[in-house]
Chain A
Amino acid sequence: MLLDTLLGLLPELNKAFFETIYMVAISLFVAIIVGLPLGVLLFVTDRGLFLEHAILKSVLGFLVNMVRSIPFIILLVGLLPLTKLLTGTTIGPTAASVSLSVAAIPFFARIVETSLREIEKDVIEAAVAVGATPWMIIKDVLLPEARPGIVQGITITTISLVGYSAMAGIVGGGGVGDLAIRFGYYRYDNTVMITTIVILICLVQVIQFAGDRIARLVDKR
């Protein structure tokens, strides 16, 4: 009986699982591509650093804080016009990825900035003193030194994205979380709810485990 329900659910679960992976992957990709440079910029324009720039720093800081302070649900709905513009539609996992990305960018950027802040100032200074260009310092000192922190940041961002992607159901985003809400929460179907939650728990565990392993592997300190 239980098994039958589960087996019947399998195609739906399968689809939802890959939708989740799809949304998370796209948003994570965008978050890294945009958030990493943004995080670096937030750091190097800071006071006393080699690209110190008070105005740029405060503008970027303000934007990041602004996006981060908007509740995700509101962002999801508020960004519908942008979603439509970018993807041509407002429903489905691709559409949901737009707001997920927008939310993940500042989140990840702040994590990158924080990891960079852990680097001893003298180490950066030594690179400046040797006559290196800003680009060289970023590429050969900042990013390698912050690598363990950045890898952990990617793990945290990924897990947060898995969580946020559940809300994407509101705009018909799909995914495992959406399934849990639709079947489990609204229809009181405990079997589906528990199954999806188990899947999400496993997914998060696997991501955390992999993230920790990689972080340890790249840590030379």
Chain B
Amino acid sequence: MIDIQNVTKVYTTKKKQTVAVDNVSLTIRDGEIFGIIGYSGAGKSTLLRCLNALERPTSGRILIDGIDVTALDAKELRQVRQKIGMIFQHFSLVSSKTVFENIAFALKAAKKPKPDIEKRVNELLDMVGLSDKRDAYPAQLSGGQKQRVGIARALANNPTVLLCDEATSALDPSTTKSILELLKKINRELGITIVFITHEMEVVKHICDRVAVMQNGKVIELGTVYELFTHPKEELTRSFVHSVMHVDLPAHLRETHTGTIVKIQFEGKSATETIVSDMLQQFEVKGNILHAKIEYIQDKPLGIFVMELIGKEDEIQRAMDYIAKRTNRLEVVSHAA
């Protein structure tokens, strides 16, 4: 368990002070994939780097499995760091060393004997699917392959926590997907807690269990990914959700419609029920679906329908009341012309 207690980090430079992390308290549970999302400069990296003490908080404590990482001496810190893996946006491999040597470095740091290192590196290469690149240099690998080496290096000493700082931000969408799948598999099979920083909601949707939204050094919203997607409270969270769930009608549709346009959000079980067809049967309205989208978040469906309801005014009103009652989420986009 990672327990972040009132952590503040202030950078003092000649001219000014920057509060990079502002009194953040969070608990990250064992075995979960915890996302931290926010725009550039929100303080995500700074907070993450406090977790393995690459950065010392100005105030506050961080307990990882009960050990206060803000209060360790250099030697203790090295030992604790061996149990906290970290991967980076630009992979951060040593370019003058082969894939094998890059991974072996982590094991050498833990003072493992040579035969063990040999065996463990091969195991890791197998796990990340790079056995054939053992003797290649980083310059000879693709971005996705480099990140796999980074992951192997981070996992070398069987850490309990894996910190990922924008680990997929330098990769194309399909490579991103394969790296995310690998991280999910690692989380599932090895039970490693993953803390994942990103500015892409799509990535959060894909792998995170819970997510914290950061702005100006503060955590402004926290919840399961599904909660945030279905009931975002803060404006910033809403804009992140919108980046994935946007259903924008073409302008000409909005202008030429005759009925009432409504947007309906279906969550969880209701998404799979036949609410819309029930409604169309019970009331004297015609429905015209203009836009629809269903996303699966943490394996739970979240659907958005935009439809035009045509019929008598009071009948439409009753139909809308019916849907609102069953979904809790109905929004009138524009009224009948």
List the interface of chain A (C-beta within 8 A of B). Answer: 120, 122-123, 125-133, 136, 140-141, 144-145, 147, 218, 220-221
Contact = CB atoms under 8 A, between A and B. Distances in A.
Given A126-B88, A131-B82, A132-B78, 15 more contacts: A126-B153, A127-B94, A128-B81, A129-B52, A131-B77, A132-B106, A132-B108, A132-B109, A133-B78, A136-B108, A136-B109, A140-B105, A144-B96, A145-B95, A147-B96
Nearest to B109: A132
Contacts of A122: 88-90, 92
A220 B96 CA distance: 5
A129 B86 contact: yes
Contacts of B157: 130-131
A171 to B, nearest CB: 41
B275 to A, nearest CB: 50
Contacts of B78: 131-133
B95 A131 contact: no
Interface of B: 52, 54, 77-82, 84, 86, 88-90, 92-97, 105-106, 108-110, 137, 139, 150, 153-154, 156-157
B109 A133 contact: yes
B105 A132 contact: yes
Most A Cβ at <10 Å: residue of B79, B93, B94, B105: B94
Contacts of A221: 95-96, 139
A123 B97 CA distance: 12
A125 B110 CA distance: 16
Nearest to A122: B92
A173 to B, nearest CB: 38
A192 to B, nearest CB: 46
Kindly list the 7 A-B residue pairs having the minimum CB-CB distance in the complex, ordered from nearest.
Answer: A131-B81, A132-B109, A126-B92, A144-B96, A131-B82, A122-B92, A131-B78
A130 B109 contact: yes
A52 B128 CA distance: 35
Given A130-B82, A131-B109, A125 B97 contact: no
A140 B93 CA distance: 12
A125 B81 contact: no
Contacts of B154: 130
Nearest to B156: A130
A149 to B, nearest CB: 11
B54 A129 contact: yes
A220 B139 contact: yes
B86 to A, nearest CB: 4
Contacts of B88: 122, 125-126
A144 B97 contact: yes
Nearest to A51: B74
A130 B94 contact: no
A145 B110 CA distance: 21
A136 to B, nearest CB: 6
Contacts of B109: 127, 130-133, 136
A201 to B, nearest CB: 33
Contacts of A132: 78, 105-106, 108-109
